[in-house]
Amino acid sequence: EAQVTQNPRYLITVTGKKLTVTCSQNMNHEYMSWYRQDPGLGLRQIYYSMNVEVTDKGDVPEGYKVSRKEKRNFPLILESPSPNQTSLYFCASRDTGSNQPQHFGDGTRLSIL
Amino acid sequence: DAKTTQPNSMESNEEEPVHLPCNHSTISGTDYIHWYRQLPSQGPEYVIHGLTSNVNNRMASLAIAEDRKSSTLILHRATLRDAAVYYCILRGGDLNYGGSQGNLIFGKGTKLSVKP
């Protein structure tokens, strides 16, 4: 089954403790991205990647890092999490070509205390 | 990106058709109209997209006005599982897709409630 898998689904942690949210897709998509969703602000893009070793900032990249060493994986790294990064995070991927639909994971709810 | 306007919420009865409107008066000639929906506790899910002609797929139909300044997502028979937030999004038709082309600008969407 074609899917985007995120782990963990839920995480409660403390300020400053590095964490990584993994994202994997099995559709051989070149394009992957991370979004965060906050009440009243909707979904906003954090980072995106057009292919292996090619990443770029989205609209709200501060405090986040990403890497794309393999086509299927696109982890989101919070080196020193802060409470304002408490949010619901979604990973997405899509195929190349004009207007291909994006496939989203089921989300990761992060709480930074 | 051109902006879309949708009602905040709508209600429907189960097994009845639902027409979800979207206004996009500043749409450009190369903008595609995309619809996504987000069920509770899930990630957004692609529904349908179109450029000028009406489109049908297994989930829904998309009716696009002749001047393209508005469109309507049609669910032919609403089920309880269709209760979700529906987002109408314009996406540039830049065929290189590169840069931020993959970035979907999500607005607030329309929250659809379906009554049994």
Mean pLDDT of B68-96: 87
**Number of Cα atoms under 13 Å in the Cβ half of residue A67:** 8
B interface with A, Cβ–Cβ < 8 A, is 32, 34, 36, 41-46, 49, 91, 93-95, 97-100, 102-104, 106-109
If contacts are CB pairs under 8 Å, which of residues 24-83 in chain A contact chain B?
A: 31, 33, 42-43, 45, 48, 50, 56, 58-59
pLDDT digits (tens, 9 = 90+) for B20-67: 999 999 888 888 899 999 999 899 999 999 999 999 999 999 999 999
| Strand partners of residue B84 | B112
Chain-chain contact of A43 with B44 (C-beta, under 8 angstroms): yes
In this predicted structure, the answer to whether residue A30 has a pLDDT above a threshold of 70 is: yes
- H/E element holding A53? none
Quick one: which of A35, A22, A107 has its CA closest to A72?
A22
What is the C-alpha to C-alpha distance for residues A81 and A98, in angstroms, rounded to an integer?
35
pLDDT value, residue A98: 60
Q: What are phi and psi of B38, to 5 degrees?
A: -130, 110
Residues of A in contact with B99 (CB under 8 A): 56
Token pair of B81, please?
Answer: 């599982």
Q: Which residues of B touch A103 (CB under 8 A)?
A: 46
Half-sphere exposure of A25 (CA within 13 A, CB side): 25
Instruction: Specify the range with the lowest mean pLDDT, choosing from A7-11, A102-106, B99-103.
Output: B99-103
Q: Pick from A50, A101, A106: which is nearest to B43 by CB?
A: A106
CA distance B113 to chain A (A): 19
